[in-house]
Amino acid sequence: VQLQACGGGLVQAGGSLRLSCAASGTRWVFSDMEWHRQAPGKQRELVAGITDSGKPTYSDSVKGRFTISRDSGENTVYLQMNSLKPEDTAIYYCNAKYRNWVPPGKEADYWGQGTQVTVSS
């Protein structure tokens, strides 16, 4: 299974970016798909997550500015980031999980390679 994230880039404060992450190599829908980020010198943190039924959760730092979504019944997740701030600068990682049942031959947890988001002031 591979997670391919894209959509990062350089944007001015107040601008917007849309990240996307597509999984390949599995026909089983992930229970949860999430976006995490890691800024230089900081620990990786959870930004937003969404269940296979479409229920989203957000960290307090992005609530009201970011929107996570996923294609119904698919293993593709998006992160619409609006009103970006310099403190949003980080490498953003896609994560996918099988929560209650792991399909044969699969792992419970997968990570993508990360995409850089840089917000200039």
Distance CA 20, CA 22 (A): 7
pLDDT digits (tens, 9 = 90+) for 7-33: 999 999 999 999 999 999 999 999 999
Which range among 3-7, 39-43, 101-105 shows the weakest confidence by mean pLDDT?
Answer: 101-105
Residue 94 has pLDDT above 90, yes or no: yes
Instruction: With beta carbons less than 8 A apart as the criterion, state whether 32 and 52 touch.
Output: yes
Label residue 73 by pLDDT band (50, 70, 90).
confident
Tokens 């419970």, residue? 108
Distance CA 74, CA 80 (A): 18
Label residue 72 by pLDDT band (50, 70, 90).
confident
Could you tell me which residues come within 8 angstroms of residue 60 by beta carbon, excluding any fewer than 6 positions away? none
Q: Which two tokens stand for residue 95?
A: 């994560």
